[in-house]
A and B are shown apart, each in its own frame.
Chain A
């Protein structure tokens, strides 16, 4: 490796963007080249100082309000009195919302990342040949396929009678862990049901979120986390989750 190459690649090393092979190459170069070693140390120090400094700007509240106002709003014909009341309420509500949003955004950062990984995995699965590792509409074929591949085999339930056809199963990686994906189809729409184990055995009610134009309904039950992702409308995805949970209940109790 030449110094010119190293002086570009060392930035990718600083940013954790290199694969193991390239990282080893540049580290070997740096170990034998004092000039590049000094450059790396200098850049690392600058990065550290920059990371300790708040260089972000905060959007002014009026900008947020201008953007909110430009979105389509539900409009009624308000009386003059309710306009005034709305104004007073509105500022209290938006102050609350503003502080609440910060807390929620911070706490959900991790969940947002996982949601975005789930949606990416869904997108990948839609590419030709990536949807299923085991193709079968028979739950008694799909379920044993997962055994030994995962710590916990996901529940595989045939919902054909309820209008959701079981297509197969697949191994996927979310949050750096192998997890099971059970694949269903309704009309031309694919539903990926991702299932992972969790230490949290409490029931968490289903909640729909939207990312990149896909609906994702996530819930937790019986020590498992579920994410159902599809381009189906929110109502049909809700129907899917309801029918899945109902069938699970029958399986467990029956």
Chain B
């Protein structure tokens, strides 16, 4: 039988953390690309968050939950090691792939055809980490650069350059897809 303190803590936790369930689940779906793995990861994330709730003094709840979810997902990546890399920068990755040439072919003449949500989700799913994570946190979960920096433990400048890279890659994939479908 749980004590009164535990019950009060659970109630405070419920009020503080459960409103963000859809946000956390959305990030998990993009990071893990699998509905049932995402459910497991989100549940584990909330268990860990409750466990550490006593010591929680900020940052804002959403980035804090995302930071915990990232740790859970990294463990899941390790388990799947054969098919995925963890959400860390591969040394030199930025140098290996030229950053901007993707969209330099006279972008003013190219217009994006709108696509349905399913097609866009697939394009986002296909982005490499850590660019996908940064993109989802900004564009879908609406975090500020500073909050993203808190959630992923990277400087704001890194967040900004990852986001620029992610959007350039997404736009390139989008345009490439349109050429195929023409």
Which A residues form the contact surface with B (CB < 8 A)? 4, 7-12, 15, 17, 35, 38-39, 41-43, 45-47, 49-50, 52-60, 62-64, 66-68, 70-75, 101, 105, 116, 123, 209-213
Contacts and interface: CB of A to CB of B under 8 A. Distances in A.
B22 A56 contact: yes
Interface residues of B, number: 62
A45 B112 contact: yes
B58 to A, nearest CB: 5
20 contacts: A7-B99, A7-B164, A11-B163, A11-B164, A12-B160, A39-B107, A43-B171, A60-B39, A63-B21, A63-B43, A66-B39, A67-B42, A68-B14, A70-B46, A71-B50, A72-B6, A74-B2, A101-B19, A210-B15, A213-B56
**What secondary structure prevails in chain A residues at the interface with B?**
helix
A140 B25 CA distance: 53
Interface of B: 1-2, 6-7, 9-10, 12-16, 18-19, 21-26, 29, 38-39, 42-43, 46-47, 50, 56-58, 60-61, 99-100, 103-104, 106-108, 110-112, 114-117, 120-121, 124, 138-140, 144-145, 160-161, 163-164, 167, 170-171, 174
Given A45-B112, A55-B124, A56-B140, A72 B117 contact: no
Contacts of A123: 58
B117 A42 contact: no
B112 A116 contact: no
Contacts of B145: 12, 15, 17
Contacts of B138: 15
Contacts, number: 136
Contacts of B60: 116, 212
A60 B167 CA distance: 29
Given A57-B29, A213-B57, A71 B10 contact: yes
Given A57-B29, A63-B42, 16 more contacts: A9-B160, A35-B104, A39-B107, A41-B107, A42-B103, A43-B171, A53-B114, A53-B116, A57-B26, A59-B21, A59-B24, A62-B39, A63-B21, A72-B10, A74-B2, A74-B7
